[in-house]
Amino acid sequence: MTDAAVTDTASTAEPAPPVLQLTRLSHTYTGQRRRTTVLKQIDYGFERGVLYTILGPSGSGKTTLLSLASGLDEPTGGSIAFDGVDLKSIGLGRYRNRHAATIFQQYNLLTYMTAVQNVTTAMEITKVRIHNRKARALELLEKVGLDRHHAMRNVLHLSGGQQQRVAIARALACDVDILFADEPTGNLDEDTAEGIIDIFQELAHEQNKCVVVVTHSQQLAARSDRTLTLRRGRMTSVR
């Protein structure tokens, strides 16, 4: 059973099977002089249709947890399963392309491309089947608050907050089962941040996606369905 106590504001008649199951998940970084164990035997199941926030002090392992759950890195202990299949069996690359999208803290945009090209390129890589990728990309960019004029600009000519919106639109374009986001509203003004949280809620509640957001934002946490906190390697309840 999980060592994560959970605050649940979503009303679910029957608990859905987890789309992503962490089982005794542990992670240790090994440096030249010392080993740092960041995550300790975490058991937790993330469900479809739920917006999660993960809180925790700086250095508590939130980004580490996200990079393991999103298939960017392999845990040193325990396992992660998507729909009951171990990520290692699926293949981390395949899992990332087909099932999980990540909004990175540093955006990780392709800096030699325009905003719209960043979004269409992600659609090509993840083989999104859609007739007019550019139109869809423009639609998503507009949805996160970036107009056509800015969408056509090289991303290096956009502000930090505008680049963050491109990163969000790119993740939305991939149409995957799970969306991970690391501090997605960190560079946004309050109104834009509220709009992004609306989109996350829509993805979870209307499109039945699993949305997992790492944040320091109480505003975001207050609007999520379940709030988890990481501290000293363990996941526990926040309220």
Ligand X SMILES: Nc1ncnc2c1ncn2[C@@H]1O[C@H](COP(=O)(O)OP(=O)(O)OP(=O)(O)O)[C@@H](O)[C@H]1O
Residues that bind ligand X (CB under 6 A): 29, 31, 36, 38, 56, 58-64
> Can you tell me the distance from the alpha carbon of 31 to that of 183, in angstroms, rounded to the nearest whole number?
26
Tokens of 123: 């659609």
> Can you tell me the distance from the alpha carbon of 63 to that of 140, in angstroms, rounded to the nearest whole number?
26
Q: Nearest approach, Cβ of 29 to ligand X (angstroms)?
A: 3
Of 214, 97, 189, residue with least CA distance to 200: 214
The smaller minimum CB distance to ligand X, of residues 68 and 188, is found at 68
The smaller minimum CB distance to ligand X, of residues 90 and 214, is found at 214
Angle at 107 between CA 105 and CA 111, to 5 degrees: 150
The smaller minimum CB distance to ligand X, of residues 29 and 112, is found at 29
The smaller minimum CB distance to ligand X, of residues 31 and 84, is found at 31
**Beta-bridge partners for 180:** 102, 212
Q: Nearest approach, Cβ of 61 to ligand X (angstroms)?
A: 4
Of 185, 182, 181, residue with least CA distance to 194: 185
Angle at 146 between CA 226 and CA 135, to 5 degrees: 100
Q: What is the four-CA torsion angle of 115, 121, 123, 125, rounded to 10 degrees?
A: -150
The smaller minimum CB distance to ligand X, of residues 115 and 193, is found at 193
Q: Nearest approach, Cβ of 27 to ligand X (angstroms)?
A: 8
Q: Nearest approach, Cβ of 106 to ligand X (angstroms)?
A: 11
Q: Nearest approach, Cβ of 58 to ligand X (angstroms)?
A: 3
